Chain A
Amino acid sequence: MSSLTMIEAIRDAMDVMMARDDRVVTFGQDVGRFGGVFRCTDGLQRKYGPSRCFDTPISESGIVGIAVGMGAYGLRPIAEIQFADYMYPAYDQLVSEAARLRFRSAGEFSSPIVVRMPCGGGIFGAQTHSQSPEALFTHVAGLKTVIPSNPHDAKGLLIAAIEDDDPVMFLEPKRIYNGPFDGHHDRPVVPWSKHELSETPEGYYTVPIGKAAVRRQGTDVSILAYGTMVHVVEAARQSVGVDAEIIDLRSLVPLDLETIIQSVVKTGRCLIVHEATRTSGFGAELSALIQERCFYHLEAPVVRVTGWDTPYPHAQEWDYFPGPDRVGRALTRLMES
């Protein structure tokens, strides 16, 4: 075991898989020589050579398009989109091609690709470096969508994603690349080394896609979150002082509905938190599922705390971000209702 940052864990996962399997290749903008603008691929080109880790032209449709082609050939491509905000030019390749190739060819061809992308705000990135587009992926039949919240899961989930035979969208909340950010932006950054989930096994291991993690057992209320928000809801829970059960979804599609239902049936209350905009966000899907499956166990309406339905602003970033105060207030209200 060693303590890694998210960045190191992600790099380690690719390193382990590139060493084990020469079909694993990775590419994207600034990914090869420089090692990625967030350094996630640093050193991989030196170690595996430029035909396994390389720079691409600035063309997201090209990046995902060649990944689909390589995957069809039999490779295991990991494509990096520099920011999730820049994946839209690739959307057609994802939706019309990667997601449906298996279906439309009745299994003759498939897209065993991973598309990695930093997502989320909290770095003053404004509208083009802050978005959380996960719901645009979960809405598409054929794509899997994974969002880790800590280094241990990031490495295990990425290895599982690389081995997965379907296209996996792998979203990396950039605000927690270097430390477990709990939403208190005015406090000093806490390094990952202080967090137990930075402890990461050496070498190969997987965290299964489709299994949530119960981060904290509790009886009063179930909180569903993923990515950065797992840390934010824990901070909010502490300040409000409720005995909440915190579920880190880790994978949105496929979803660990069993764990969610078990928890909500037990607590009778549910708070859903995500950073993405609210309308048609993944929280809407979760809320609908809970209404369908747990209605008779609910003691209060399901509550969502999310980003506002506006583009992500620059100067007002912390008014946009669903931080511990907003989550805390919602928790209090939910407990009172």
Chain B
Amino acid sequence: MSGGPLTLHVPEPTPCAEAADFSRLHLSEAGQLRRPAVDVEAGEIRDLAYGLIRVLDGEGRAVGPWSGACTIDQLRAGLRAMLKTRAYDSRMTMLQRQRKTSFYMQCTGEEAISCGFQSALQAGDMNFPTYRQQGLLIAQDWPVVDMMCQVLSNEKDRMKGRQLPVFYSAREAGFFSISGNLATQYVQAVGWAMASAMRGDNRVAAAWIGEGATAENDFHAALVFASVYRPPVVLNVVNNQWAISTAQSVAGGESATFAARAHGYGIPALRVDGNDYLAVRAAACWAVERARRNLGPTLIEWVTYRAAPHSTSDDPSKYRAPEDGAAWPLGDPVERLKDHLIGLGAWSEARHVQLKAELDEEIGIAAKAAQGFGTLVEGSKCSPASMFDDVYKLMPPHLREQRQELGF
């Protein structure tokens, strides 16, 4: 019966020196997967957690049952939101390099997911985002100066300089305060959605997590509670292939898809091409409608690629090949939507170049305005005395004493 000594299986990502291998990505053809009715049972769509819902084909045409979720104007708005997010990211990265702030995180390559998803929500809904969903704010035209002031930790920062850059909070925009502790908010989104149901409202919650952080207990707790109480929540898993230096195989992606994790809990799951704006919007609308019609939670794995470093503190050349991104088979979400719109005769290269220039200028002006309110290193910022506020609703005596000791 002996099979020799046991050995430990440790997933081995492609070595840095070799071209990336995306052959195990479980791709489907555009238009290949069916679009079930929103009241489908989880068990009837188990295959959708292993295939990949795609609308845009290789020629940039929209095909199959998931196409037709967007008007031309919506698509152009989506393109604009993605381009604006990209312009914002590159400007903020530049400011960090100029040492105007300590840190920044881009979402390059993943813009379609947050921008497309936001367009499926309505006022009153609540996102529980990670640090890579700035598109949720930008797609609803939330003032970028406001976001920049947070990044710069200046006097106009709504978080009063307390939080790490990009850890926004915007209640009016349905954007829950970001925690730095991974996965904690996934289960909070479920609780928020339960509360919406308990109160007889019709508000929907969206939980966000990276594939790496699905390993945390809170992810699994969220799925259990979502499965038991069936609250109106969309459980988003953004699989961008990397968690800092760690490939998705180390999060369990080698054994099953992340979408398939929902099956053990009886939660319907979709696996979607996250670089295909049309597919994103179609799937988001499907899941949000399910939630709003009291049909319960949906888990969506968005398959995408983290094109930029993890953060400004990270150097990906130490752990992934420079060609890794180029080998990524699902392309770039901006280019794909642009090609689609051009194919429809609703866009042109010239208009694209012009829009980019306009957005760069808009972001540049906003960045100047934001820096006018100070940066982490110069100008005004929130008084040190403010760090004693909001620890409690009413400042207890010992904090008052400590504030005095600091000289305020």
Contact = CB atoms under 8 A, between A and B. Distances in A.
Task: State whether these chains interact.
Answer: yes
A213 to B, nearest CB: 30
A88 interface: yes
B8 A88 contact: no
Interface residues of A, number: 39
B161 A59 contact: no
A308 B387 contact: yes
A48 interface: no
A268 to B, nearest CB: 24
Contact of A309 (B12, B252, B402): B402
B23 interface: no
A129 B388 contact: no
B180 A128 contact: yes
Interface string A103-134: 00000000000000000000011111100000
Contact of B252 (A37, A57, A85): A57
A253 to B, nearest CB: 26
B41 to A, nearest CB: 30
Nearest to B150: A314
B13 interface: yes
B321 to A, nearest CB: 13
Interface in B161-189: 161-165, 167, 179-183
Interface stretch (A16-24, A25-33, A242-250): A25-33
B376 to A, nearest CB: 6
A208 interface: no
Contact of B217 (A32, A59, A86, A278): A59
B182 A127 contact: no
A58 B13 CA distance: 16
A126 B382 CA distance: 15
A54 B11 CA distance: 9
A337 interface: no
A1 interface: no
Contacts of B182: 58, 86
A33 B242 CA distance: 13
Interface in B238-254: 243-246, 250-252
A129 B250 contact: no
Contacts of B290: none
Interface stretch (A145-153, A254-262, A285-293, A315-323): A315-323
A57 B215 contact: yes
B225 interface: no
Contacts of A37: 244-245, 313
Given A29-B244, A313-B387, A316-B382, A57 B251 contact: yes
B294 interface: no
Interface in B194-243: 212-213, 215-218, 243
Contacts of B153: 314-315
B16 to A, nearest CB: 9
Interface in A40-56: 50-51, 54-56
A128 B164 CA distance: 8
B398 interface: yes
A55 B179 CA distance: 24
Given A33-B319, A313-B162, A124 B376 contact: yes
A61 B250 contact: no
Nearest to A56: B250
A129 B180 contact: yes
Contact of A58 (B8, B167, B216): B216
A312 B98 CA distance: 24
B7 interface: yes
B17 to A, nearest CB: 13
B289 to A, nearest CB: 32
Contact of B10 (A32, A127, A129): A32
Contact of A313 (B8, B12, B161): B161
B36 interface: no
Interface string A296-337: 000000000000111101111001100000000000000000
Contacts of B68: none
Contacts of B24: none
A191 interface: no
B387 A320 contact: yes
A66 to B, nearest CB: 11
Contacts of A218: none
A319 B216 contact: no
Contacts of A30: 244-246
B188 to A, nearest CB: 14
Contact of B161 (A88, A308, A315): A315
Interface string A76-95: 00000000011011000000
A58 B183 CA distance: 10
B103 interface: yes
A50 B12 contact: yes
17 contacts: A29-B243, A51-B7, A51-B10, A55-B245, A58-B212, A58-B243, A59-B217, A125-B164, A127-B180, A128-B180, A308-B399, A310-B391, A313-B162, A315-B161, A315-B162, A316-B162, A320-B387
Given A86-B181, A86-B182, A314-B376, 8 more contacts: A29-B244, A34-B319, A55-B246, A88-B181, A89-B216, A124-B102, A127-B163, A315-B161
Interface of A: 29-30, 32-34, 37, 50-51, 54-62, 85-86, 88-89, 124-129, 278-279, 308-311, 313-316, 319-320
- 5 cross-chain pairs, A with B, having the tightest CB-CB distances, nearest first: A128-B180, A315-B161, A57-B215, A34-B245, A319-B384
